[in-house]
Amino acid sequence: MPHNDRPATLRDVAAAAGVHPATASRALNPGTKLLVSEETAQRVAEAAERLGYRPNPVARSLRTRRSHTIGVLIPDLNNPLFPPIVRGLEDRLAKHGYVALIGNTDLDTTREQMVFDQMRARHVDGFVLATATLHNPILAEAAEADLPVVLMNRTAQGYPFSSVSVDNEQGERAAVDHLASLGHTRIGHIAGPQDVSTGVARLRGFFDGMDGHGLTVDDAQVVTATGYSIEEGLRCGRELLETNRDLTAIVAANDLLAVGCYGALDELGLRCPEDMSVIGFNDMPFIDRLRPPLSTVRFPHYKLGTEAADLLLERIEDADSPVKILYLAPELVARGSTVPLAATTSADDGRDDESRLAANTVPLRRGVARRKR
């Protein structure tokens, strides 16, 4: 009979090799293998092989209090930004015998808490959090319970958590530099939500960049989204365009916002890039397939995942390992959505006479440039 229906257990292996289960255990575990004689180790290994022995991770977990499972909290897997990151995480974790439990929070606090609790109940060995808003109860909870945590694309001051994220400030500065180098001076910004660190940092990068080129920024030139979504991009794009009739370029804090902005341009009969240059952030998959292909600031998604995994594993293996704040450098990707000012239809040229803009536009107020805080 080649195949017993009950899977072979350590006892079976021990019996087959004529040793005590404890010895078999030692022989099979790399860490304790050296405690056992070469010869018996061999015998046990053969027996295990022959019986098709697979250690039962559940039993092992119960004993070692290690589940080899990592909880990963992300806003929404449907956001194309995350799949590559998650793959990076999973691939790297798998290499070390860990698996990831993915939890979608939809940025809903109660849902997030639920998922978090669920995962704690399942005794995950650590967490990767990509959802943390700046002041988040689960951060405190995790800190108090001394859980290994790595923040992804988020930073949180005041907690002893490692994090890996993009240098958002530098990235957005590069976006402004790019537009400025194309000759644009009247540049609007669709800012990300200000309760997450990326939104704050990118806004700061925008101001910095403008400042660096001696460009002033009117209050009305910045519209803040309440979330990173196409809908918010549409809303903010509308507002921005209606309030600022002389813009020639828009920096969106994220690709989805930029996509929404495309829609706003469409509505107003404006074309990108002929009438308006637009640049996003993230270089989401497929964003290069839009028409026009979106210029954006790329960061290495997959690598973000692998680095986060490394940081977390490090922390799990050694609870005293130092907290590390890792920034990955972003990279500007110029595509068809940004063109030189010279190639841009002058803001005064074709707009007014075609009265494409809504009637309730307000006169442009020129204020003092807001500075980096």
Residues at the site binding DNA, with contacts judged by CB under 7 A: 6-7, 9-11, 18-23, 25-26, 28-29, 31-32, 35-37, 39-41, 53-56, 59-60, 62-65
Beta strands 162-166 and 187-191: pairing type? unpaired
CA distances from 208 to 82, 165, 228, 372 (A): 28, 19, 22, 6
Q: Which is nearer to DNA, 32 or 181 (CB)?
A: 32
Give, as one character, the DSSP assignment of residue 360: T
10 binds, among a second copy, DNA, none (CB under 5 to 8 A by kind): DNA
Q: Which is nearer to a second copy, 286 or 320 (CB)?
A: 286
78 binds, among DNA, a second copy, none (CB under 5 to 8 A by kind): a second copy
94 binds, among a second copy, DNA, none (CB under 5 to 8 A by kind): a second copy
d(C-alpha 37, C-alpha 107), whole Å: 55
Contact 74, 105 (CB under 8 A): yes
For residue 118, the minimal CB distance to DNA (Å) is: 15
102 binds, among a second copy, DNA, none (CB under 5 to 8 A by kind): a second copy
Q: Which is nearer to DNA, 56 or 78 (CB)?
A: 56
Residue in this structure with the two tokens 């669709």, named with its chain if needed: 190
Structure tokens belonging to residue 74: 């992300």
Structure tokens belonging to residue 230: 């196409």
Q: Which is nearer to a second copy, 18 or 285 (CB)?
A: 285
19 binds, among a second copy, DNA, none (CB under 5 to 8 A by kind): DNA
Contact 247, 186 (CB under 8 A): yes
Query: Which residues, 6+ apart, have CB-to-CB distance to 188 below 8 Å?
Result: 221, 222, 223, 240, 244, 247, 249, 250, 251
d(C-alpha 63, C-alpha 52), whole Å: 22
For residue 241, the minimal CB distance to a second copy (Å) is: 19
Query: Binding residues for a second copy, per CB under 8 A?
Result: 3, 54-59, 61-62, 67, 76-78, 80, 83-84, 86-87, 90-91, 94, 99-102, 104, 118, 120-123, 144, 259, 262, 285-286, 289-291
Residue in this structure with the two tokens 């998604």, named with its chain if needed: 301
Q: Identify the CA nearest to 125 among candidates 105, 145, 104, 139.
A: 145
d(C-alpha 153, C-alpha 156), whole Å: 10
For residue 50, the minimal CB distance to a second copy (Å) is: 17
CB atoms within 10 A of CB 224: 16
For residue 6, the minimal CB distance to DNA (Å) is: 7
For residue 40, the minimal CB distance to DNA (Å) is: 4
40 binds, among a second copy, DNA, none (CB under 5 to 8 A by kind): DNA
Structure tokens belonging to residue 90: 């999973």
Q: Which is nearer to DNA, 39 or 146 (CB)?
A: 39
CB atoms within 10 A of CB 114: 13
Q: Which is nearer to a second copy, 22 or 62 (CB)?
A: 62
25 binds, among a second copy, DNA, none (CB under 5 to 8 A by kind): DNA
CB atoms within 10 A of CB 162: 23
122 binds, among DNA, a second copy, none (CB under 5 to 8 A by kind): a second copy
For residue 232, the minimal CB distance to a second copy (Å) is: 16
